[in-house]
């Protein structure tokens, strides 16, 4: 059996095949990043000069608590302060008078309301006394004694 295909028919077939392959092989578009549901804060801790200091970051989620080493404690403190790290009660403690600046920043949402927080503290002990476990991104329980 002999098949005769004209050049125009072959070209059309090749173009259709290429078009179908291109559509099927098109890369999947990445979905736009969405914010986590529920109460959450992106917490960032920068030690030293904010322009060149070491930075650590985590997403603290509170439905259920997760995101860093002391998430349950941090979520409980935020719940008592209506999601505002600046309203966490000051702990009665003694901190050394050592200047080792640390900047704590948080943004996210709490009960549907936007949260923005940024403050530089003279050292980690003072930061922990003022913000509790919210910025405790390290595994160790560094902070105030007393």
Domains of the chain with CATH codes: 42-131 (3.30.350.10)
Of the candidate ranges 24-28, 52-56, 59-63, 133-137, the one whose mean pLDDT is the lowest: 24-28
- pLDDT above 60 (res 27): no
Q: How far apart are CA 135 and CA 103, in angstroms?
A: 10
DSSP string, 17-77: HHHHHHHHTPPPPPPPP-PPSSSEEEEEEEESSTTTSEEEEEEEEETTEESSTTHHHHHHH
pLDDT tens by residue, 54-112: 889 999 999 889 988 899 999 999 999 999 999 999 999 999 999 999 999 999 999 99
In this prediction the pTM is 0.67
Tokens for 125? 């002990």
- pLDDT (0 to 100) of residue 31: 46
- pLDDT (0 to 100) of residue 8: 55
* Nearest to 113, CA basis, from 135, 132, 87: 87
- pLDDT (0 to 100) of residue 77: 95
Mean predicted lDDT score pLDDT of the chain:
78
Q: What are phi and psi of 59, to 5 degrees?
A: -100, 115
C-alpha pair distances (Å), 16 with each of 7, 11, 22, 25, 135: 14, 9, 10, 14, 58
- pLDDT (0 to 100) of residue 146: 44
Say what percent of the chain tops pLDDT 70: 66
């Amino acid at each position: 059996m002999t098949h005769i295909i004209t050049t125009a028919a072959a070209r059309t077939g090749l173009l259709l095949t290429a078009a179908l392959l291109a559509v099927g092989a098109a890369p999947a578009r990445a979905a736009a990043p969405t914010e986590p549901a529920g109460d959450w804060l992106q917490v960032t801790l920068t030690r030293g000069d904010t322009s060149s200091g070491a930075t650590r970051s985590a997403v603290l989620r509170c439905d259920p608590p997760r995101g860093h080493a002391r998430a349950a404690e941090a979520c409980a403190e935020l719940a008592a302060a209506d999601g505002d790290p600046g309203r966490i009660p000051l702990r009665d403690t003694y901190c050394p008078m050592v200047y080792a600046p640390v900047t704590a920043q948080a943004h996210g949402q709490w009960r549907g309301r936007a949260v923005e927080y940024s403050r530089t503290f003279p050292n980690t002990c003072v930061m922990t006394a003022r913000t509790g476990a919210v910025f405790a991104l390290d595994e160790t329980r560094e902070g105030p004694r007393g």
